[in-house]
Each structure stands twice: as C-alpha cells, then as structure tokens.
C-alpha cells in the first residue's frame, strides 16, 4: 500500500528495553509508532493520536492494561492486542468484559507479533471497505434494473449473461460474477482483498493473484485494447476500478 499514509500503532509497555524493541521493529515494518510507559499516558495518547492499533501490556504503573482496554473500548473502535506476562492474566484478557481482540504471552517472538499486527490491521481495513461496499451495493441494487448497460457492453442479470455488441460473451462463471461485482461498484476503487472476499468468498483459500488473472481474462474479452484497458483500470497499490 505504497500510496497510503503509514498506520499508527500505539505501543504501551513499561519495560524500557521491550518498548524500544517493539518501537524499532514496528518502524522498520513501515508503521508509525507512538509510545506510552504507563496506563494514564496510554489513554491520553490514544485520544490524541487515534491509532489504528494498540499493543497493550497488562501490568502497567498508574492504570493497568485491563482498565486501559476497558476505558478505550467505550470511546473508540480500535483493535487492541494485549501483551500478557503470566498465564493467569490470559483469562481476564480474553474474558468478554475487557474486549481485547488478540493477545500474546511473553516472551513472544517478534516475527509472530508482527504477523498478528499485520493480520489485525488487514482485518480492520477489510471491514471498513466491506461496509462502504455494502452501502453502495444496497443503493445500486435498489436503483438497478435487470440489465446494466455500458455502451455496447450489456450485463443481463436475469439471464446471467454478458453481451458485447449484441453477441453473448463466453465468460466462465467466476468471470461473469467478477464483472458484475465490478460493474455494480463502478467508479469505486476496489482492493484485491475485498474482490477476493466478495466474489470468491471467505472460505476461498486462494491468493489475490487469482483476482489479477481473472481481470486479465476479462480484459481480453471486453476491452478494445486489453493492453490499454479503458473499462477495468488498475489502481496502483490497491486493485481495480470499473469505469463504466
Ligand atoms: Ca509490564
């Protein structure tokens, strides 16, 4: 995601060496890190910075991590990954009342932690995009007739077929579904992740490259010049957009 602003991660840890290590590794991964070494400062910094993710130690001076988590949960919708030192803390952390999204027990591997961070941030991005897509889809479905018409390209949603200049296009089922999905969200930049999830489904174990391959096949069928596509354009660092 080269074009986007770096995501901000608030790191709350009272052990200076660990705080430094966490900060160093997050910055190296391209995130913006802000830090706090006690619970009260953590809440203040979270309010100021509105971070995209919080790494939160449980045992902290001034206000413990569980209380910080409870407080912030009421105020903002931010994913929180708790860092626990003892097994007996885990019960409280995963308990419903605190509401952390994930936890790791110390000592943890930095590689594993970074993987969890990436996974949590990806989940949040997908959820936000998903909400935007669902809203526009609902509006589109209400307004939509049985056909979507883009010049000489016509999608007949009742017969489930695509026509180009009145001749049916030989599309495979997934190509058709992908084309309809893109067309319903015309003008909207859609990430490969959201396309994969909406056209192939959550349980599909494939990679986002699947999306690229199907877009290439579609372009060969619907573009005048597949090498310089005018209908399905590539949005760098994100995915694709149907221009309609
Ligand atoms: Ca601690």
Nearest to 105 by CA among 91, 126, 123, 125: 91
Residue 63 CA, ligand 1 centroid: distance in Å: 11
pLDDT digits (tens, 9 = 90+) for 176-198: 999 999 998 899 999 998 898 88
Among 37-51, 103-117, 125-139, which range has the highest average pLDDT?
A: 37-51
DSSP H or E stretch at residue 83: strand 80-84
The mean pLDDT value for 87-99 works out to 64
Residue with tokens 């949960």: 73
Two tokens, residue 41:
């400062």
Compute, in angstroms, the gap from residue 67 CA to the centroid of ligand 1.
14
Question: Residue 154 Cα, ligand 1 centroid: separation in angstroms?
Answer: 61
Distance 39 CA to ligand 1 centre (A): 10
Residue 129 is predicted with a pLDDT of 83
Is the confidence at residue 96, as pLDDT, over 60?
no
Domains and CATH numbers, the chain: 8-136 (3.40.50.2300), 151-242 (1.10.10.10)
Q: Starting at the earlier edge strand, list the strands of the sheet with 8-12.
A: 32-36, 8-12, 53-57, 80-84, 102-105
Q: Which residues surround ligand 1, an ion (CB under 5 A)?
A: 14, 57, 59
Say if residue 209's pLDDT is above 90: no
Give the mean pLDDT of 162-171. Answer: 91
162 alpha carbon – ligand 1 mean position (Å): 60
Express each pLDDT in 112-153 by its tens digit.
Answer: 999 999 999 988 888 888 888 887 777 766 666 678 889 999
Query: To 10 degrees, the CA torsion angle through 216, 220, 222, 228?
Result: 80
Distance 237 CA to ligand 1 centre (A): 38
Q: What are the respective helix, strand and coil percentages of the chain, to the nearest 5?
A: 45, 20, 35
């Amino acid at each position: 995601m080269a074009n986007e602003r770096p995501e901000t991660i608030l790191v709350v840890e009272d052990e200076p060496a660990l705080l430094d290590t966490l900060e160093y590794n997050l910055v190296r991964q391209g995130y913006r890190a802000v830090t706090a070494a006690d619970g009260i400062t953590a809440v203040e910094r979270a309010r100021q910075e509105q971070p995209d993710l919080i790494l939160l130690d449980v045992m902290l001076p001034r206000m413990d991590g569980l209380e910080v988590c409870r407080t912030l949960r009421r105020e903002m919708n931010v994913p929180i990954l708790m860092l626990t030192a003892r097994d007996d803390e885990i019960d409280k952390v995963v308990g419903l009342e605190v509401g952390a999204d994930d936890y790791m027990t110390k000592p943890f591997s930095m590689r594993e932690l970074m993987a969890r961070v990436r996974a949590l941030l990806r989940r949040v991005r997908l959820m936000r995009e998903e909400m935007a897509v669902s809203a526009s889809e609902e509006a589109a479905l209400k307004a939509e007739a049985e056909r979507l018409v883009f010049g000489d390209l016509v999608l007949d949603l009742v017969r489930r077929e695509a026509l180009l200049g009145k001749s049916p296009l030989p599309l495979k089922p997934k190509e058709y579904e992908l084309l309809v999905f893109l067309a319903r969200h015309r003008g909207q930049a859609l990430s490969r992740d959201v396309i994969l999830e909406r056209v192939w489904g959550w349980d599909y174990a494939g990679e986002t490259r699947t999306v690229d391959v199907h877009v290439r096949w579609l372009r060969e069928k619907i573009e005048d010049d597949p090498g310089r596509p005018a209908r399905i354009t590539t949005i760098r660092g994100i995915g694709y957009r149907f221009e309609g």
